[in-house]
Amino acid sequence: MDLIGASALVIGGAGGFGEATVRTFVDAGIKVVVADVADEKGKALSDELGEGVEYVHTDVTSDEAIDEAIDRARALAPLRVAVIVNGGPGGASKRIVSRSGDPLPMAEFIQTTEYYYIATYRAVSRTAAAMSRNEPLADNQRGVVITTASIAGFEGQVGQTAYAMAKGGVIGLTITAARDLAPAGIRVMSIAPGTFLTPAYNMTEEEANAKWGPGVPNPKRMGRPSEYAHLALGIAENDYLNGTVIRIDGALRFSP
């Protein structure tokens, strides 16, 4: 898909994967809206990158907030790409039943699925609706939506039931949404990262690689957000990538 003169919406654009994706897209000549709740980081990023990049405070649990971010992107240029890397509270490492015999509180389960699963569906449906009104490009292409799953959605570890279930839902959405949206010329893809060095780890790259790198078959290090970002750009540009989840994990398979 020709992305010259297009805009992209990056939901979670102030975080590790999101920031790298914003920078990569801007380098490719795409106008970008950074949608996040991290106002200070998001505004600093948009100020640094300058014209053609805007920050919009976006609560992923709100239809209206998502719609506002979409409208801002469409005001820049036709919205052709949405990258959904939203995170949120929840996802703590807790078993279904604790050692003391107590079940995982449903409030914690619901919070995790609200941010990692329901919010993803909300963003997919609303960005796709906006893209469906675009003028078609070659081969009837109107846009692409890229979600973020996780290898935990394939082989979740102990204590990851809520998170793994949410990411498994994102994985299951991919082919079905691609089929739903095919008549509109909208592709749907998902990226499933392994262990990546993002600010959440709160350690240097050397420290992180020493701790987590030995478990990765090849290369023996954590992933870099720029590697996620370049994959996202490649997906956006390649019309024949559709309905598929791509693992980017150095051949890592989570053990229990």
How is the beta sheet containing 143-148 ordered, strand by strand?
A: 53-57, 31-36, 7-11, 79-84, 143-148, 186-193, 245-248
For residue 86, how many C-alpha atoms fall within 13 Å in the half-sphere facing its CB? 31
Among the listed residues 163, 201, 228, 240, the single catalytic one is 163
Q: In degrees rounded to 5, what are phi and psi of residue 56?
A: -130, 120
The tokens 């053609």 sit on which residue? 52
| Number of C-beta neighbours around residue 52 at 10 A | 15
CB of 111 closer than 8 Å to CB of 89: yes
CB of 23 closer than 8 Å to CB of 15: no
**Residue 117 designated active-site:** no
User: Residue 85 and residue 72: Cα distance in Å, rounded?
Assistant: 18
Instruction: Identify any residues that bridge with 190 across adjacent strands, giving them in sequence order.
Output: 147, 245
CB of 128 closer than 8 Å to CB of 226: no
Active site residues: 163
